[in-house]
Structures are given as C-alpha cells and as structure tokens.
Amino acid sequence: MRYSSTLKLPLLPIVLVLLLATSCVNEDNSNCVQYAITTQLVDKKGTVLSDSTVGNVKAYLFLNNKFERIVTAESGGKYLISFDGNAKATLVAFGNMNSDSVSIHTPNEGDDISTISVGLLSTRSSTSYFSSPTYLFYGRFDYTSVKSGSTTTALLPMYNQHARVHVVVKHLQTQFGSGNYQIVLQGFRDAITFDGTITGDSVTYSPSAAFDTDDKYTSESINTLPTKSDEYVTVSIYKDGELFWQTSTDSDGNKVTLAAEDDKCFVIDVESINVFLQVMPWSEYVEQNIALS
C-alpha cells in the first residue's frame, strides 16, 4: 500500500486505438479503411470544454487489442489512420496539463490494451508522494464497419477521469478537545489501463487540514482517480495517533465511492448522537456556508 499526505497527478496522455494492417500498405488495398478523427474535450453533461484545458494529448493505435503504434496529430489536429477493415481497431487518447505528474511509458508492439496503464507519478520515493493534475482526460474510439476505400470522419469525446473530494469534520475540538488530528482516506488506486479500467496499487491519502473559527476541521482538496469497481472509500479520523472514528458508508448506509468528475464533500458532525458521513457536492456545501455566514 502506498501512503500520501499530498495528492498530485502527472502527465495527461491521449490514447486512441485503431488497426493498421499490412493490406493497407500493399498493392491490394481494396479492404483498407481510412479515418480522420478529431478529439473533443467534454464533461459528463456533454458541455464542450476548451482545448486549452489540457496541454498534452497522445493517441495510441491498437489492432485486435494489441498495441500497434503511436498516432501523431496532423497540423489541423486530426488523427489520420488507415487499417484493414477485417481487423478490430481501437484508438485511445489521454490528455493533461502537467507532463511531470503522470507516468506514461510507450507500450511495446503487441502489448495488450488491458494490461498497460497510465499511473500517478511518485515524486518522492521515500515517502510516496504523488503529483496529481486537476485534469486527466481519456477517450476511446472503436471501429465499426464502413465502406472500404473511403475516408470517414469521426469525433472522439474525451472525459475527465479525475474525482475531487474535501473532508469536513464539525465540532471536533468541542467534543474531543484539542490535539493532533489527522484525516485518512483509503480505497483508491494509482493507475488507469488503456481500456479505461481503474487498476494499480492501493493508495492512502492523509490531506492537510485546518480548523476555522467555527470548529470546522476542513481538509485540502484531493484530486484522485475514481474508485475501482466493487471497491469503496474508507474515512478515518485519528487523534494523537489513535483511531477514534471510521466509516465506509454514508448516512443512507451505502458504500462511499467516487466516480469520474465527482467534486464531493464528506461532512462528519461528531456532535450528533449518531455520527455519520454525509456526502454532498462541494459546491452545495460552500453555498450552505455562505448562506449561514
């Protein structure tokens, strides 16, 4: 397990997967399919985002789920690809702003799409710090049969794969006195495969936090990958190194998870008779506090 007091992400790659077969370069190219693909950054509501949101995009071509080659964008931003129409082709794209925070190694020819991944980059090996960008966009285009010999245009939407969370603990000092408090979050992974699956080693975060004048202990934001399928977040509170509260469920008894593009706030009120974790959008929590101020 890796432990981190600060979460950071590295480089955003664009992965596009398609098939380039020898029939397209031989004299007989009757079954050759050509695509001109344009990437587009969008959020989960379908709103188109500015291309400036990411500074580095890379595209990768896969043939029958095996890595074929990196695809470089033309001057107009289109990715031009040709391949044998009988094969399964996939174009994968990754993109982000910070080339120093994501670990992306060029796959070897023949590597399987489900076994190669993009990971969080550890910036301090002795303490397992991670550098996590706010944005890590991913898109995937899978070929469907079209007329051979023609050039087809296609749009490849790319979605942010990051989630963000704050933790707020209310009335902590009032109920338990002063001390050295620490918030710990577990249940995260440090990589995403080229087929879009969350994977890698487990990562634990202990974000910096501070008390305000209303005795709210609020953490800094954590940018992370979504929780892996069938896994969940565990939130723990320590005082002077001793665990005194922990949960993996919300106020409705559901396991706590984070999806791509989530921007959540975990609110814990230790003054309540039954202490529970309330999950709400961070923007909603901020609005409530403005209204009460």
- Rounded CA-CA distance 40/129 in Å is 31
Residue 235 is inside which H or E element, if any? strand 234-239
**pLDDT score recorded for residue 121:** 62
Distances (CA, A) of 284 to 141, 222, 280: 35, 17, 7
C-alpha span between 233 and 248 (Å, rounded): 6
Closest CA to 235 of 191, 275, 263, 178: 275
The CATH number of residue 250's host domain is 2.60.40.2630
Q: Which of 139, 160, 181 is the last residue of a domain?
A: 160
27 falls in which pLDDT band (50, 70, 90)? Answer: very low
- The per-residue pLDDT for 150 is 62
For residue 1, tell me if it sits in a domain: no
- My answer on whether 156 and 178 are in the same domain is no
Residue 32 domain-assigned? yes
Q: What is the pLDDT of residue 29?
A: 63
Write down which residue in 105, 138, 160 finishes a domain.
160
Are 50 and 42 in contact by the 8 Å Cβ rule? The answer is no
Residues 199 and 131 in one domain: no
Same domain, 143 and 204: no
Q: Are 49 and 43 in contact (CB under 8 A)?
A: yes
Is it the case that residue 209 has pLDDT exceeding 80?
yes
Tokens 């023949």, located at residue: 110
Number of domains the chain is built from = 2
Range 66-83 average pLDDT: 90
Q: Which residue has the higher pLDDT, 6 or 169?
A: 169
Q: Determine the distance from the C-alpha atom of residue 243 to the mean position of all C-alpha atoms in its chain, rounded to a whole number.
A: 29
> What is the 3-state composition of the chain as percent helix, strand, coil, each rounded to the nearest 5?
10, 45, 45
* Residue 42 DSSP symbol: B
**84-124 per-position pLDDT tens digit:** 888 889 999 998 756 556 777 789 999 999 999 988 765 44
The CATH number of residue 154's host domain is 2.60.40
Domain edge (last residue) among 142, 160, 178: 160
Paired tokens of 170: 């209310």
Give 12's pLDDT tier (boundaries 50, 70, 90). very low
Same domain membership, residue 132 and residue 175: no
CA dist 43 and 49 (Å) reads 7
Asked, for residue 93, whether it belongs to a domain, the answer is yes
Residue span of the structural domain in which 143 resides: 7-160
One domain, residues 30 and 155: yes
pLDDT in tens, 247-276: 999 999 999 999 999 999 999 999 887 899
Indicate the pTM of the whole model.
Answer: 0.82
pLDDT band at 18 (very low <50, low <70, confident <90, very high): very low
Quick one: pLDDT at residue 155? 93
Q: Which is more confident, 54 or 284?
A: 284
Helix (H, G, I), strand (E, B) or coil at 148: coil
Same-domain pairing of 63 and 189? no
